[in-house]
Amino acid sequence: MTVSPLRSSLLDTTPHGFFTRDGGVSTGIYSSLNCGFGSADDRAAVAENRARVAQTLGRRPDDLVTVHQVHGTDVARVTIPWQPGDAPKADGLVTDRPGIVLGVLAADCAPVLLADQTRGVIGAAHAGSRGAKGGIVDSVIEAMIELGARREHIAAAIGPCIGPASYEVGPEFVTGFMADTAGNAGYFTPSEREGHAYFNLPGYLADRIRALGVVVSVQGVDTVPEINRCFSWRRTSKAGLTEYGRMLSAVTLP
User: In the prediction, which pLDDT does 2 show?
Assistant: 79
CA dihedral sign, ordered 21, 214, 12, 217 = positive
pLDDT by residue (tens digit) across 80-108?
999 999 999 999 999 999 999 999 999 99
| Rounded distance between C-alpha atoms, residue 222 and residue 201, angstroms | 10
User: In the prediction, which pLDDT does 44 show?
Assistant: 98
Instruction: Render the burial of 19-56: b for 16+ CB within 10 Å, e for the rest.
Output: bbbbbbbbeebbbbbbbbbebebeeebbebbbbbbbeb
Burial status of residue 239 (CB atoms within 10 A of its CB: 0-12, 13-18, 19 or more): exposed
CA nearest neighbour of 247 among 233, 235, 238, 85: 233
For the entire predicted model, the pTM comes to 0.98
pLDDT by residue (tens digit) across 210-242?
999 999 999 999 999 999 999 999 999 999 999
Domains and CATH numbers, the chain: 9-161+216-252 (3.60.140.10)
pLDDT by residue (tens digit) across 126-168?
999 999 999 999 999 999 999 999 999 999 999 999 999 999 9
pLDDT by residue (tens digit) across 168-199?
999 999 999 999 999 999 999 999 999 999 99
- Give me the mean pLDDT over the 2-30 stretch: 97
What Rg value do the Cα atoms of the chain yield, rounded?
Answer: 17
CA nearest neighbour of 36 among 103, 131, 128: 103
Check pLDDT > 80 for residue 1: no
| Rounded distance between C-alpha atoms, residue 84 and residue 90, angstroms | 13
